[in-house]
Structure 1
Amino acid sequence: MNTELQRRIVSGLVLAVVVLAATWYGGFSFRIAAAVATVLIYYEWSTITRLGERDFRANAFGWVSILLMAYNIAFGEKEFAVPLLGGAAITAILLVLWRKGSWWLPGGIVYAGLSGTSLAAIRGEDQAGFVATLFIFAVVWATDIFAYFVGRALQGPKLAPRISPGKTWSGAIGGTVSGVVASSALTLAVFSRLSFWTVAIAFLLSVTSQVGDLFESFIKRRFGVKDSSHLIPGHGGVMDRVDGLVFACFAAFLLTLVYSASTGHLDMSVAGFLFGF
C-alpha cells in the first residue's frame, strides 16, 4: 500500500469518526462542527474564485458575513439564521451591482452560509434530528460510493463530459438506486415503516447530491484547479468531500421551509418533513 493511499484512508477514517461523533452528540458539538464547515467552505470558495485578488474590500465583507453566520450557528438563535443569511446575500448582490464586482461573492456567501445553516437545522437538538441527519448521510454516501463503482463497472454514456468526464449515466442511476435503498433501510430499521413520501424525498436528495458534485466540478474546471484545497490529506479540501452533502442539505432544508410555510405548519422540523410526521 503506497503512502498516498495510507494517508487517504487514515484521514478519511478520522474525518468520518469526527463527523459521526459530532452527529451523535448533537447540540453544541454539532453546531460547532457546522460553524467550522461554514468558515472552511468560504475559505476554499474565495480561494478558488480568487475573490481577494478581484476585490479585497468585497471579500472582506464576505468574511465578516460568514464569521457572523458561523457565530450565530454555534452560539446564536436559530430564528436569526435565515434572516442573517438573506441579509448578507442581498447586501452582497447590491455591492456587486454598485461596484460592478464579482458574482462569486454572493454565490460564496450563500453556498457557505447555507451549508452550515442547513446542517445545523437538520440535526437540531433531538433524536428525530439525529435520525434525519443519518438519513441524509445514508442517501449521499451510498449515492457517492455506488455511483463510482457502478459507473466503473458498466461504463456507458457520459453524464456531463464537459464538466466531469469520469461520470456516467450508469453510475448516476446506480448511485440513485443505492441512495434510495440505503435510506429506506435506515427508515425501516428506525420506524418499522416506510412511506412513498420518504422514498420520493430520498430519490430527490440523491439526484440533488449528484448535482452538487457536478456544481463543484464546474467551479474547479472554470478556475483550473484540481482540488478545492489541501486541508484534508489525500482527499483535497472540505468542498471536495461535502459537495454532494451540502446540496442535499440545501434541498431538505429549503423544501421544509417551503412546505411548512405553504401548509401553515411553521414549526415543522426537517425530520418531520422527511418522514411525514
Structure 2
Amino acid sequence: MVLIAAALAAAYVGGLFFAAFWILAGVAVGVEWAWLVAGDPPSRRWTARVVAATLGVAGAALSLSIYLYVAPVTAAFVLLAGAVVAAFLARPAYFAAVAIPYGAAVFVGAMLLRRDPHDGLLAILWLFAVVWSTDIAAFFAGRAFGGPKLAPLLSPNKTWSGAIGGATAAVAAGVAVAAGGGAARLWPIVVVALVTSAASQFGDLFESGVKRAYGAKDSSKLIPGHGGLMDRLDGFLFAATVAAAIGVARGGLDAAGEGLLRW
C-alpha cells in the first residue's frame, strides 16, 4: 500500500519528481539483478556499481531530454556502453549485463508515457490499473479455482485460472480507466489491455525462472516480508515496455499516451 501511494503521488506530480522516482526504482532493480547473477563478491560489487551508475546517467539523460537539447537516443548509447562494461566485470557471468536493460525497462516505458502533455497521466493510471488488476485478480482467482498449472517449471503456484482471471480483470480495469478519460473507441483498448496483462504475467514468470535458476527465493531483502523491488516490479517493467512501445509506435515520443489510448 505504501508503494502504491508513492507511485500514485509521483504520477500526479509528474516532471522530474516522477522521473527520479522511477529511475531510483530502476537502479534498485538493476542492482538486485546484478547481485543475484554475478559470481564472486568482488565482481558482484563492481558490477552493481557500474549498473547503478549506468542506469542513473541514462535515466537522467532521458528525463532531461524533455527540457534540454539532449536526444533520447543518448540514453540508449549509455545503456549499451554500460552493459558491455558490466559483462566484462562479471565475466564469466555475462548474464549479469542484462541487469542494465532489465533495470532500464522499469523507468523508460513509464517516462515515455508520462511525458505526453495531454494523456501522460491518464496513460500511467491506465498502466497501473491494468498491472495491479492483473496481479490481484490472478492471485484470488488462482486460489479460488485452482486447476492446471500455468508454468510449473518456472513458478509452481501459478495456474491457468489465475492467468485468465488476471487478464479478465485487466481488460475491465483498462476499459474503465480509458472510458473515464474520454477515450472514444474502446474495443482496441480491450486488445491492448489483454496484451499488456499478458506481458505483465510473462514478466512475473520470467523473474521466477531467473530466481529458480540461481537458487534464490527473493531478489533481495529490501522490503521486509516482500523481497526486493525486482519481486514487486517484475510484471510492471514488461507491461510498461509493451504499453510504451504501442504508444510510441502510434503517437511518437511526445504523444505516447495518446497513441496508447486514443484509437
Instruction: State the TM-score, normalizing by the size of structure 2.
Output: 0.88
Q: In the TM superposition, what whole-angstrom CA distance separates every residue of 1:141-160 from its partner, at most 9, and x where no partner exists?
A: 00110011111111111000
Question: How many Å apart are 1:84 and its aligned residue?
Answer: 2.1
TM-score scaled by length of structure 1: 0.84
Q: Does 1:207 align with 2:198?
A: yes
CA-atom RMSD in angstroms: 2.5
SS class of match (2:119): helix
- Tell me the SS of whatever aligns to 1:156: coil
1:35-77 deviation per Cα after TM superposition (whole angstroms, max 9, x unaligned): 1112111121111112664746555543332231233345x21
Following the alignment from structure 2 to structure 1, what is the Cα–Cα distance between the partners of residues 253 and 49? 35
Amino acid at match of 1:23: A
Match status 1:224 vs 2:215: yes
Moved more, 193-202 or 46-55: 46-55
Structure 1, gaps ≥5 residues long: 1-12
Give the aligned partner of residue 41 of structure 1.
Answer: 29
After the TM superposition, which residues 1-277 of structure 1 pair with which residues of structure 2 at under 5 Å, given as runs? 13-50=1-38, 53=41, 55=43, 60-74=49-63, 76-78=64-66, 80-89=71-80, 92-93=83-84, 96=87, 101-124=92-115, 126-191=117-182, 193-257=184-248, 259-260=249-250, 266-267=252-253, 269-276=255-262
Structure 1 residue 189 displacement after superposition: 1.8
Q: Percent identity?
A: 34
What residue identity is the alignment partner of 1:69? A
Bigger mean CA offset, 61-70 vs 14-23: 61-70
Structure 2: gaps spanning 5 or more residues: none
Deviation track 1:97-155 (CA, whole Å, cap 9, x = no partner) reads 89964332331111112321221111126351100001011111001100111111111
8 Å contact 2:114–2:123 — kept in the other structure?
yes
CA contact (8 A) 2:113 2:247 kept: no
Distance across 2 between alignment mates of 1:59 and 1:237:
15
Structure 1 residues 161 and 63 mapped into 2: Cα distance closer, same or farther (>3 Å)?
same
- Which letter maps to 1:110? P
Q: Match for 1:41: what amino acid?
A: V
User: Could you tell me how far apart the structure 2 residues matched to 1:192 and 1:99 are?
Assistant: 47
Q: Assess if the C-alpha contact under 8 Å between 2:84 and 2:97 holds in 1.
A: yes
Aligned residues of 2:62 and 2:72 also touching (Cα < 8 A): yes
**Secondary structure at the residue paired with 1:159?**
strand
Shift of 1:163: 0.6
SS of residue in 2 equivalent to 1:191 = coil
The 8 Å contact of residues 138 and 162 in structure 2, kept in 1 or not, is answered as: yes
Aligned counterparts of 1:256 and 1:103: Cα–Cα separation in 2: 32
AA aligned opposite 1:20? L
Alpha-carbon distance, 1:183 to partner? 1.0
Residues matched between the structures, number: 259
Q: Name the CA distance, whole Å, in 1 between partners of 2:217 and 2:21.
A: 25
